[in-house]
Amino acid sequence: MSHSIKIECNNQSLIFEVDKVAKQASGSVLLRQKNAVVLAAVAYDDIEVEEDFLPLTVQYVEKAYAVAKIPGGYIKREARPSDFETLTSRIIDRSLRPLFPDGYKYPTQITVLVLSADEEVDLQTMAVNAASAALFLSDIPIERLLSAVRVGKSEKELFLNPTQEELKNGELDLLVSGVDSDLLMIEMKVNGDEDGLNELNSDETLEALEFANSAIKEASKIFYDSLLPYKKESFEFTSTTSEVDEKIIEYIKSEKLDLLKDAIKSMAKSERAVELKKIEKAILNEKPDFDKDSVASALMQVKKEIVRDMILNAKIRADGRGLKDVRPISIETNILPSVHSSCLFTRGQTQALVALTLGDSKDAQSYDLLTSKETLYENFMVHYNFPGFSVGEASPLKPPGRRELGHGNLAKRALEPSIRLPKNQTIRLVSEILESNGSSSMATVCGGSMALKAAGVDVKKLIAGVAMGLVVEEDKYAILTDIMGLEDHDGDMDFKIAGSKDGVTALQMDIKLGGIDKDILKEAIYQAKDALNHILNIMESSSEDIILNSNALPSILSFELDSSTFGAIIGQGGKNIKEITEKYGVKIDLDRQNGIVKIEGSDDVSVSEAAEFVKEVASKSSDRRNTKSMPEFKEGQVFDAEVKRIVDFGAFVELPGNVDGLLHISKLSDERVDKVTDILSIGEKIKVKILGVNGNKIELGFIEKV
């Protein structure tokens, strides 16, 4: 028997339908909100994996039929996931992973299908809420039910669950998931405008998170109370995390402790665990009766205890730093002579080489969103690559996976508000991670901001990023600045924050605990602010030494003109524009819709001279138009005319009073015409009819040749 549960909370009306569809799954729910319908289903295998990790897979899939479309392309079915689908899958995974009990090792699959979409509904928060409900209702031993909310901001006022239009025009996009008072996952970015970045200072950031947390408290309680009666009985679960042999642990602590501490220091310089392997081999040689897997597990456990004890009690880290210290930083700009700009950013043993390429509107990345009727274009791209050699692994290069897409997206969100990007320009940043020992995404942010500066891009403020960590044991805790790989692995939090000296532009948090105390989060944000200021001081000092790659950088000049003068700039058969491009060695792009001329060349002098010439041609054309005594034309009038110019889309003909009119190719015949020259030739006399008059623009229809 199916059940329909209607819930009103946070100014939203949701309907959870339980036991209606996908009843063979361990848990499933059909969630409705306005015209949007999302199905979430959970399934698991009853045989545990041997490895000590949570084998969770999440797939979020948008169906084209959800907006009454047939997929484009040669094959008319959904293919590889879009970036939005991949990033949404990551958000669901990061939100739900902390809910699983320790030692749960059953392969588990969460599938979320968008069956019907509504452009006014936030599909990401809806997907997280549906997935959480399906997981809670299943027989998997999950005792908590989270909720996700999105927060917007406009004119300094925070509000819940903004529409896509409100998000686009607002100052903030904050997505938070959690249970009761515990925050589990945070994604935040600000939107810049011509006046500035709209970054949030530390207090404003905490205010926004508190605002989201209040909504989460309300929603998660209502969800729990409403869905609890329909929850399946959880299967009997006993953690099968292998108990580490105490005899082996004692042997390591008594015989190999100094070697292990030296290995930890080595791991502070690399993500590789080569030294641990050497110790493991030595133990097995000395104690052949020890099990290899047990020795490896024991080493990892003792290593983790040492790292956490050093941090909590000695207040010192494996590489000798204090808890608030940032690793040494070096910055080199424009080290690649044929590239528009580049930056080699090194922080400790993490190194990112960021290369920037400038393009025009034609270079923008087109993409589709299920909730958008039109094709969208991405004019600012950040692509992140993580080759195996960056961590000393012999692995082949692969297409970007979820991690690469997620890190690139985070860097993009951090940097995009900081630049003024002309609407006819495209920027692509590529971050090649050459060495990694923690926080390569934040190195991408720092290197990306410097690469933008090194290309002469209009940068409002420099942006830096830093990753913060956390270690918690009972009533003790320590917040770590600029974490390395070892601390990420053995710590309890990965909290990435990016911004200028005036505030935060992007924020991302994942927590391994069941949530994070708000006082600790507040302390982490203020501690991160000090680190960001330290890094930004180094970046600002380095930016003073930037020398532009003048030989590689294109010289680009954009200006507005009356689009009615573009015909004179082009000239008959493109004669004028061809002569200008050849004489000055430039490329000219005319945007009729917006009346923008963009001239690009190898040097400033040739571009400036070409621009002056184009403006002179446009001015003369405008003067001639203004001095003409244009006759009054009315719809339906018939005239004899002469074909003066032929273009791909039609022909320009001369009407009485030396007035030009456009005869579009579609008006030449009732049947399709591939080329205007198949019907007309320059100088030919024809009879035309006035179809419409809009200012100086006259639309004509073809009657016959004279």
CA-based angle 472:475:478, to the nearest 5?
40
Do 408 and 401 touch, CB atoms closer than 8 A? Answer: no
CA distance 330 to 348: 9
Q: What is the DSSP letter of 313?
A: I
Asked if the model's pLDDT at residue 499 lies above 70, the reply is: yes
Q: Which fold has domain 3-230?
A: Ribosomal Protein S5; domain 2 (3.30.230)
Asked if the model's pLDDT at residue 440 lies above 80, the reply is: yes
Q: What is the pLDDT of residue 85?
A: 96
pLDDT greater at residue 619 or residue 183 = 183
Which pLDDT band holds residue 156 (cuts at 50, 70, 90)? confident
* Beta carbons within 8 Å of 147's beta carbon, 6+ residues apart: 128, 129, 132, 177, 178, 179, 215, 216, 219, 220, 223
* Beta carbons within 8 Å of 95's beta carbon, 6+ residues apart: 128, 131, 132, 146, 148, 177, 184, 185
Give the model confidence (pLDDT) of 651-691 as tens digits: 888 888 777 788 888 888 888 887 888 888 888 899 989 98
Asked if the model's pLDDT at residue 695 lies above 70, the reply is: no
Q: What is the pLDDT of residue 172?
A: 94
CA distance 558 to 538: 33
Q: Which amino acid is at 66?
A: A
Give the model confidence (pLDDT) of 308-318 as tens digits: 999 999 999 98
pLDDT greater at residue 498 or residue 649 = 498
Which pLDDT band holds residue 625 (cuts at 50, 70, 90)? low
Element (H, E) at 277: helix 274-286
pTM: 0.81
CA distance 123 to 37: 9
Domain boundaries, the chain: 3-230, 246-314, 329-543, 555-627, 638-705
Give the model confidence (pLDDT) of 523-548 as tens digits: 999 999 999 999 999 999 999 999 99
Which pLDDT band holds residue 624 (cuts at 50, 70, 90)? low
Domain 329-543 indexed as CATH 3.40.50.150: no
In this prediction, residues 558-569 reach a mean pLDDT of: 83
The SS3 call for residue 109 is strand
In this prediction, residues 393-398 reach a mean pLDDT of: 88
Which pLDDT band holds residue 567 (cuts at 50, 70, 90)? confident
Which pLDDT band holds residue 630 (cuts at 50, 70, 90)? low
**Average pLDDT in the chain:** 89
Region for 198 from its dihedrals, namely left if φ exceeds 0, alpha if ψ lies in -120 to 50, beta otherwise? left
Which of 669, 637, 633 lies closest to 651 in space, CA to CA? 669
In this prediction, residues 683-701 reach a mean pLDDT of: 83
Q: Look up the CATH number of domain 638-705.
A: 2.40.50.140
In this structure, are strands 380-385 and 425-435 parallel, antiparallel, or unpaired?
Answer: parallel
In this prediction, residues 311-336 reach a mean pLDDT of: 94
Max CA separation in the chain (angstroms): 107
Asked if the model's pLDDT at residue 195 lies above 90, the reply is: no
The SS3 call for residue 676 is helix
Return the CATH superfamily for domain 555-627: K Homology domain, type 1 (3.30.1370.10)
Most trustworthy range by pLDDT among 113-122, 385-394, 600-609, 610-619: 113-122
Which of 670, 662, 666, 669 lies closest to 699 in space, CA to CA? 662
Q: Which amino acid is at 136?
A: F
Enter the tokens of residue 349: 């043993």
Burial of 57 (0-12, 13-18, 19+ CB in 10 A): exposed
Asked if the model's pLDDT at residue 632 lies above 80, the reply is: no
The SS3 call for residue 34 is coil
Which pLDDT band holds residue 581 (cuts at 50, 70, 90)? confident
CA distance 355 to 264: 34
Q: Tokens 């889309």 appear where?
A: 649
Enter the tokens of residue 134: 């399906």
Torsion of CA 537, 542, 548, 553, to 10 degrees: -60
Element (H, E) at 288: none
CA distance 345 to 414: 17
pLDDT greater at residue 113 or residue 585 = 113
Q: What is the pLDDT of residue 447?
A: 98
Q: What is the pLDDT of residue 613?
A: 87
Q: What is the pLDDT of residue 525?
A: 94
Q: Please state, for a pLDDT cut of 90, what percent of the chain lies above it.
A: 51
Q: What is the pLDDT of residue 589?
A: 85
Say if 329-543 and 555-627 have the same CATH topology: no
In this prediction, residues 233-250 reach a mean pLDDT of: 79
In this prediction, residues 72-89 reach a mean pLDDT of: 89
Q: Which amino acid is at 89?
A: S
Q: What is the pLDDT of residue 84?
A: 94
In this prediction, residues 342-361 reach a mean pLDDT of: 94
In this prediction, residues 471-487 reach a mean pLDDT of: 91
Which of 84, 61, 74 lies closest to 378 in space, CA to CA? 84
Which of 535, 486, 81, 17 lies closest to 276 in space, CA to CA? 486
Burial of 312 (0-12, 13-18, 19+ CB in 10 A): middle
Which pLDDT band holds residue 635 (cuts at 50, 70, 90)? confident
Asked if the model's pLDDT at residue 38 lies above 70, the reply is: yes
Do 30 and 5 touch, CB atoms closer than 8 A? Answer: no
pLDDT greater at residue 487 or residue 695 = 487
Asked if the model's pLDDT at residue 339 lies above 90, the reply is: yes
Enter the tokens of residue 659: 């007035």
Which pLDDT band holds residue 104 (cuts at 50, 70, 90)? very high
Do 167 and 469 touch, CB atoms closer than 8 A? Answer: no
Q: Which amino acid is at 645?
A: R
In this prediction, residues 86-101 reach a mean pLDDT of: 95
Q: What is the pLDDT of residue 696?
A: 64
